[in-house]
Each structure stands twice: as C-alpha cells, then as structure tokens.
A and B are shown apart, each in its own frame.
Chain A
Amino acid sequence: MLRSIAGLARGSSGTQSLALVTLNNNLTQIRTATKRVSGSKTNKNDSAGRRLGPKAYEGNYVKPGTIIMRQRGTKIHPGENVRIGIDHTIYAVEPGYVRFYLDPFHPLRKYVGVSLQKDVKLPIPHFEPRVRRFGYIELQDPEQAQKEEDRKSRKEYLYQSQLEQKALQKENFKNDTITKFKEVLQKEFAVTDKDVELASTRFFNILTLSNAGHSIESAKTQETYNYFYSLKLSVQKGELSKEEESTKRSEYLTFKDQIESQVNLDVNGSLYKYLTPEEVSTKQKEITQKLETEYYKVLSPKEKTEVSRLINTAGIFSVSERQSLTNRFLPSFVPYDVPGSVIEDIDPENIPKDVVAQRVFDEATRKAKLIGRPKAALA
C-alpha cells in the first residue's frame, strides 16, 4: 500500500502530497521489544558489585595489616606507612591514623597513608626528619635475653667451624711470631727481660698493621696510638688514675725510643739492626749499583737467589721499590733488550738443546727473522 502511495506522490501535484502528510501523521508507531527475555543466553554479563572503596576513613585508627582501600587500578596511591597489594588493595603496615592527602611531588595523584601520630599531617615536609616507630619489645627475663642473644642465624651457625679454625690460625701465628721475636731480641739485641714482652708484642702488632697496608713508619705511629688509646679507655673505666696514665705514657715513649734506636722491623717480618737514613741510602745505592753491573743479564738459578736476597735485604727497600727491582732483575720472561737473552744467527736445522727458536718481527728491517732465546730467559 505504501508503494502505491509513493507512486502517486512521484507523479502528483501539490494537493496530493498534502494528503500524504496527513496520512503519515496518522501512522501509529509500534515499539517492538529489543531486549531479549531473561532466559536468553546473551543476558548473563552482569555481576554482583565488588564492594570497592575505602574501608577505613580519614582519622581512623588502624593496626598493621588493616585494609584501607579496595580499588581497581590505583584510584588512590599508597603513601607513607602503607603498602599496595597485587589487586591494588592498600593496607597499613604501621599502627596509626589514616590520612588521605595530596603530594606536591605528584600533583595529579591522590594518596592514602598512615600517620604514626594523631596530630601529624601527611605528607611530612620534605626536609623534616621522618617519624619512625621502633616497635621492638625488650626481653626482661635475663635467661630468655641471653638465649636470644646467643641465637645464631643459619649462616652464622654453618660458618662456626671455619671461624674457629681461622681464629686458631691467627692465635698460632701470633704466638709463633712473638716467641720468634722474643728469641731474636734477647739473643741478638740484648733487650732486657722487662722490656722483651712489650717489645715483641709491639713488633708483632706493627707487622700485622703493615700487612694490612700501612707503611712501617705509619704502623709504628698507629701502634703507639693504639697503646695510648687503651690507656685512655682504662682511665675511663676507672682502672687507672690520670697520673698513672701519664707516667705510663712517658714510660712507653722512652721504651719506644730506646727500642727503635736498636732494632727495626722489616716488611717481610724480620728484625734487623737499626740503620740511620744515611746508611740506608748508601746501602740502597750500593745494591742497585751491584745489580745493574753484575746481574742485568740472563741469570742462573743460583744468581737468581742471590738477586732476590739482595733485593729483600732487611730495611733497605720499600715494598714498591722491591716490586720494581724484582720486575727489572727477576722478570718471569726476560725482555729482548737484556744482554745475552737473544741469540742471533741460529741454524734452524740444528738448534741447541738449551735454546728455543722464535720468529719475531724486526722493526729495523721490517721483516720477520729467526732468533734463539736461552731457556733460562723464558722460565
């Protein structure tokens, strides 16, 4: 029927179209149901509310573990003394009062935190000290306290045997060195029995300090300081009076000066007769001269021990000087410029037993050439 009306309209004049409008106005609209009935399979997408939102409000007192906020995503960020869970739940980790706040460092975020004190607002100003809770409870029962103090972590427990062994080694080293020092001091330097105990301990302490990186001189100062410091502590404890301390100090100083004018300690741990700085420098010159003239060559094993003895002469060279001398005169691989370390013109067909043939690049001719090197130079 509509089609016939439309056909009329197409070829029609004005009066006919007016009739159509009236006809249209008379059409009643029918709204059909677009929502399917509840039995349908596509209408099951709604769920119950998740009960999100704040669980504790501004100013509420919370204990550690209390949930403050349930949310999807971080509607509210975790602030001070709270943490955030895997589903963005915010919970307290300290007891205190809930505060919702804004942080000037993150102006677009809202925060919730726990203030440890009722009248303290959050955030705590940037340059103010943090408010912190101690929280540990003192054990009043002495027995229980001792038990707790002695309790070891698993790691500490497992390390016990190693620690004991180390302590024993240390103790043995100490006893051995001190007895050795005592012997030397009494026999070679005729130190009196009264001083020998103190002197040997002093030299042992200097030795351990020098092994830890001090020079012998600074180790001596440190050892003197350590002795004075122990005196000071005994004054603090009331074991010594001030006068006793000062007499002990002066006694120690005279003892120290006297012993140092006789004996000195070498970095390798041997005691030797005290040398004046002039004596040391002349001896240094002498030894370097000797090494340069006699031992700058390929050395036999016997000569090597002699060089090592010269370099390690007690009290002459410092550790670094010894190292550089060893590098020069006792290298593990003798450089090419040491006299006698390169044998030119060797016969490639018939190489002697104690010589190793090497092909090297000759900088002068810019060609490879064959040279021989004594086996002693490569050891």
Chain B
Amino acid sequence: MNPAETNQDCTAKIDASCRVPLLALFGGAALWLVAGLALGIVAVLSFHKPDLFADCPYLSFGRAQAAANDLLLYGFAIPAGLGVMLWIFSRLSRAPLALPLVPIVAANLWHLGVLIGTATILMGGSTGYPWLEYPRAAAVLLLTAFMLVAVTASATFGFRQNRELYPAHWFLFAALLLFPWIYLTANLFLLSNHPPRGVVQAIIDWWFANNLVFLWLGLVGVGTAFYFLPKISGKPLASSGYTLFAFLTLILFGTWTGIPGSAPVPAWLPALSSVAAGLVLVPLVAILIVTLKTISGAGVSSPGSSFRFIQLGMAAFVASGLLYVCQFCPQYSRVLDFTWFGFAQTQLQLLGFAAMILLGAMYDILPRVMGTPLPFPKFARLHFFLTLGGVLLFTIPLLIGGVKQGRMLADAQIPFATVNAGVLNFLRLSTTGQMLILVGALLLLLNIFVMTIKWKIGLFKAALAAVKAPLETAEVKS
C-alpha cells in the first residue's frame, strides 16, 4: 500500500468515526439556530406592536429575547463549536475519534439541557442573570455534557500521531479549558443557596458573559478559521510567531474586559476593564494580519461557500471586536451604554462572527463525515448571501440607532418618548435582517435533515439487504 492510499484510508476512517457524534451535535444546533432566530423575531415584535403579548406572558420581549439569545449561544454556537472542534482534533491527530459513543450521549444531554433552560425562561423561571438564565437543572446537564465532550476531545488529542501542536490546537484547547472554569464559577457563585451579596453578583455575571461571549466564541471561531483558511487556500498559516502572540495576548487581555463604565461598582473595576479592552486591540490587529496574509494571493479558483463564510466571519470578528472595545472606552461608553448598540454588537459577535465561521465549517465537514455531497449544494451558497445580507441589515441599523439613542439620552431636554420613537425605524429595518438570517438557517436545517434521512434510509436498506441475503453455505448446518 502506498502512503497516499494509507492517508486516504485514514481520512475516511476519521470521518466515519465522527459521523454520528457530529450529526447529533450539528442537527440539534441547526434546530436551535432556527428556533433562536424565530424567537428573536417574536421578541422584537413587542416593539412593533406593544400589546401583542399583553395576555401571553411567555412571549413577552424580556423572556423571548433572553431565550433567543441563549438558544443562539448555548443551543447553536457551543454544540456546533464542539462538533467542529472534535472533527478538527481528530483530523489533526490523524486518528479516529476516541470514545465515539461519549459525545453522542453528551450531545443528547446538552440538547436536553437547552430545552429545559429555554422552557424555564419562557415560563418565567429565568435566574435573572444575563447569559446565565438557565436554571440549575439545565446547568448541570450542560456542564456534564461539556465535560463528556472534553473527555473525548482530550483523548483524541492525546492519541495524535504528530506530537507537534498546530495553532488551531492552541485556540480550541484553550476554549475547552475555559468553559468549565467560567461556567462552574458563575453557577457556583450565583446559583448557589448563598450567593454573594449585592453588586458582586453583577460583577461575576459580567466577567462570565465577557469570557463566554467574547473570549470563548473568539477562541473557537478563530481556532476554526486558522484550521480551515490555510487548508482551503492551500497555503500554510502565515507567521506562526504572530499567531502565538495573538493567542497569548487574546487570553491575557480578553479575560479582563466586561465591566461597563457605567457600573455602580468601585471605580477600579471599570477602569481595569477599559484598560484591558484597549489592549484587546493588540490581538485583534495581530489576528487580522495573520488572516490577511494567509488568504491574500491564495490561488483558489472556486473557493466554495465554506471559504466565503469563514473569510467573512473573520471580518466580522475584527469589526465586532472593535465595536466591543469602543463600548469600554470611557469617552464613548457614556453615550453607548444602555442603548441598542451593545445588543447589536453582541448579535454581530454571535451571528456575524461565530455562526458565520461555524456554518462555513459545518458546510465543509458535513459532506465529508456523511460520505455524500450536500443534497442541495446551491442552498449553501444562498445561505451565505442570506446570512451576509441579514447580518448587515440586522446589526448596522441598530448600531446607528444605538448611537443616535445614546446622544439623545445624553440631552435631558429631549423627552424620553421622543428618544424611544427615534429608534423605532431602526428596529423595523433590523427585523427584516433577522428574517433573512432565519430563512438562511432554514436552508441549513433542510440540508441536514435530508442528509440524515437519506443516511438512515441507507442504513435501513443495508440492514434489510443483510437480512435478506442468502446465508453462506459454510454457515448452514448440515
């Protein structure tokens, strides 16, 4: 057997070993993505027609928005990220996925946790802490599931044939370590029977939310991009030194941001956060340079939708990072705090950056692990343009509206009702963007659904054929 054949054989084995775990993670994630986007639209309807849910508390803005945000983060981004991570680890280790049953169990536990959490929020059982709204029962399931996936990922990582680490390893391994730490801290402090008194709760929640939404998604998204961009463009990742520098500065400074300037806490906390936010510009620039150097001059004739998704995701990462830094600059935070600006930045981080890169990765991985091309490859292209247009239409009006709202709020002569009315048109525009993203997500769901059905039919046919096949004469007792 020649080495090329062994390599192909090995790749096929890896992909086959990832099939069911990834299908479990991605299938649920796609479902939650659709649910989260739909719920986000339902939530914002309260601004278009305030009394729509006056008699139905389950879908009021506060509850639906919290549930929608959590569905996008916990329902979609994290399981999709974990699936992509498992596959990348397996590929980089050149070894099939270790303990393939464990992530299947984990995926089911995770999705159950998300279901329980979402239902609880809609029923009014949210914990009241932003990004940590899920109750204890859901938190236990999520943490268990994450640890199970981490076990498989670590085992696969340990079995790697080439001991050298790739940049993608650093980012993804760091994400694997980060989540249990922050999630356990937040839950043990805030959801225990004796939470700390007063604003300490808010501080811990800000620390947690920053480390999850900015840093965790950042690590997973950039790590995934640093695996796929060189692979698709056929060039090695530019400058390993820059990448290492970006990685270290990102986890060094990125962990300290998150306390808003307006917070009613001792002044050293927001001051520290705004300094850290300023320093986050360093890894942002480094990551931008590495990305540009890697993709520039890539001789790819037809890059395919995955490449487009991931390229755009990296652009959104830099944009969302810059907007994030702006929010912690004292000069701007006075205007931007308490406006739609922060909401729009978070949505850009979730949908423009994290979801974009993970969707690109999923469109690349799915045909490989399933061993068949996508049933509707044109939908992937269409999904890209819908997401691109949708994210721009969703976030840009709200960013502009947020600045306008902040400037009007800063002028006490302008009545509050006028301030509110001034934002409504921006909200209307942004809702159309949400709808475009939702249509795109439905296309993904359709692709995954048809793929799964075809695969199950294939399995059934194979089983039927095995049953119907005539017994080999050697096995027939004479």
- Are A and B co-members of a single complex? no
Q: Taking beta carbons and an 8 Å cutoff, which residues of B are in contact with A? A: none
